């Protein structure tokens, strides 16, 4: 691509030489006076600068087109997943008009492509409508992998995942994805206005966006922003820089705004200070409402706010139950993890 600017400069140089030579010969043979020479030379310089700028723009466009080719090639990649056709329907009508869905995992096992190790092995569990479930366990125990399977980023190698008693692969893929509102650890905010970051769209319901930000604990920060929901994020003119904790709250507000039946949060408070974290979990039911919520956490104190806890180790679901019941299993992994974390908060002596 570097050849384009070089060719542009060569072409402009040749045009200058030929044009100046033409003007000089005309002046030499008396076709026009000295004043006209100055006028023509100035015009030629402007013309040459315009040609050079045009060639540079064409060179840039050639580079951008190569990038677009890669983008379109990516967008045109075929979806190799099995594409079902069944519409997603609620299991039963709920009086408040919301989300009667139930997910069941039956002996689910999974290996990442190219790996011989099982990331999940023989996992069976049930996620009922309105449940609030925490998923805990050591690093690499399969927690995030389970979320990826629920969201059909991957399909199980063995076993099946059922939605209302039907294998999720039989449902229309796009329709199934709309059931989930997910915040992964590596979420991103964009250099767009705050409201568009919450709505993930240019079409923003302002009142709803404000309510979601307030529920996520960012109402005060929103009130202090110079343009409210129209305030651009990051290094735009008049934009604001948000902290890691504020970014996480915006991501949480985005998940709530989507209003999907299932809300899935992967380490939703990792960047929050202890006070802000306590506020989020103490208001967790208010934030997610009647939706079924699943979240991954390494801070076991947050599990006290959940109705059920799934404990993973080595890709297996080794325990499940409520906080107090799991603590009662003194030799269980959950109780050992709890004691390991609790010792740092206990006063010595």
pTM of the model: 0.72
Confidence at residue 94, expressed as pLDDT on a 0 to 100 scale: 43
> pLDDT by residue (tens digit) across 53-78?
787 788 888 888 888 888 888 888 87
For residue 321, the cross-strand partners are 309
Confidence at residue 46, expressed as pLDDT on a 0 to 100 scale: 76
Confidence at residue 93, expressed as pLDDT on a 0 to 100 scale: 41
* Residue 180: band (very low, low, confident or very high) from pLDDT cuts 50, 70, 90: very high
Nearest alpha-carbon partner for 15 in 23, 27, 26: 23
Q: Sign of the C-alpha dihedral, residues 221, 224, 228, 231?
A: negative
Confidence at residue 271, expressed as pLDDT on a 0 to 100 scale: 67
Mean pLDDT of 264-283: 75
**Cα–Cα distance between 238 and 89 in angstroms, integer?**
45
> pLDDT by residue (tens digit) across 210-223?
999 998 888 888 88
Beta strand spans in 18-61 (E): none
The string of DSSP letters for 196-212 reads HHHHTSSS--HHHHHHH
Host H or E run for residue 316: strand 316-321
> pLDDT by residue (tens digit) across 103-161?
999 999 999 999 999 999 999 999 988 888 999 999 889 999 999 999 999 999 999 99
């Amino acid at each position: 691509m570097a050849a384009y600017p070089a060719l542009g400069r060569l072409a402009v140089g040749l045009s200058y030489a030929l044009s100046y030579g033409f003007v000089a010969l005309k002046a030499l043979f008396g076709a026009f006076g000295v004043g006209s020479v100055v006028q023509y030379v100035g015009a030629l310089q402007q013309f040459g600068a315009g040609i050079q700028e045009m060639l540079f723009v064409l060179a840039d466009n050639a580079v951008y087109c190569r990038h677009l080719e890669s983008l379109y090639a990516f967008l045109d990649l075929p979806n190799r997943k099995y594409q079902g056709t069944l519409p997603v329907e609620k299991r039963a009508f709920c009086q408040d008009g919301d989300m009667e869905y139930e997910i069941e995992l039956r002996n689910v096992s999974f290996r990442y492509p190219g790996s011989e190790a099982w990331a999940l092995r023989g996992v069976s569990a049930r996620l009922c409508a309105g449940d609030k479930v925490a998923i805990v366990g050591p690093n690499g125990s399969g927690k995030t992998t389970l979320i990826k399977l629920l969201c059909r980023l991957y399909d199980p190698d063995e076993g099946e995942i059922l939605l209302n008693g039907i294998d999720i692969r039989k449902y229309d893929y796009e329709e199934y994805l709309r059931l989930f509102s997910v915040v992964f650890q590596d979420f991103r905010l964009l250099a767009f206005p705050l409201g568009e970051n919450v709505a993930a769209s240019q079409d923003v319901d302002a009142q709803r966006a404000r309510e979601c930000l307030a529920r996520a604990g960012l109402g005060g920060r929103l009130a202090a922003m110079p343009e409210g929901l129209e305030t651009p994020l990051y290094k735009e003119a008049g934009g604001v820089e948000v902290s890691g904790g504020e970014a996480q709250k915006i991501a949480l507000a985005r998940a709530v705004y989507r209003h999907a039946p299932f809300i899935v949060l992967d380490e939703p408070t990792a960047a929050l200070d202890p006070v802000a974290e306590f506020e989020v979990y103490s208001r967790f039911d208010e934030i997610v409402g009647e939706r079924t919520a699943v979240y991954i956490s390494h801070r076991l104190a947050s599990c006290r706010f959940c109705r059920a806890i799934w404990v993973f180790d080595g890709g297996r679901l080794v325990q499940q139950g409520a906080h107090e019941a799991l603590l009662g299993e003194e030799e269980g992994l959950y109780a050992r993890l709890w004691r390991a974390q609790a010792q740092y908060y206990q006063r010595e002596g």
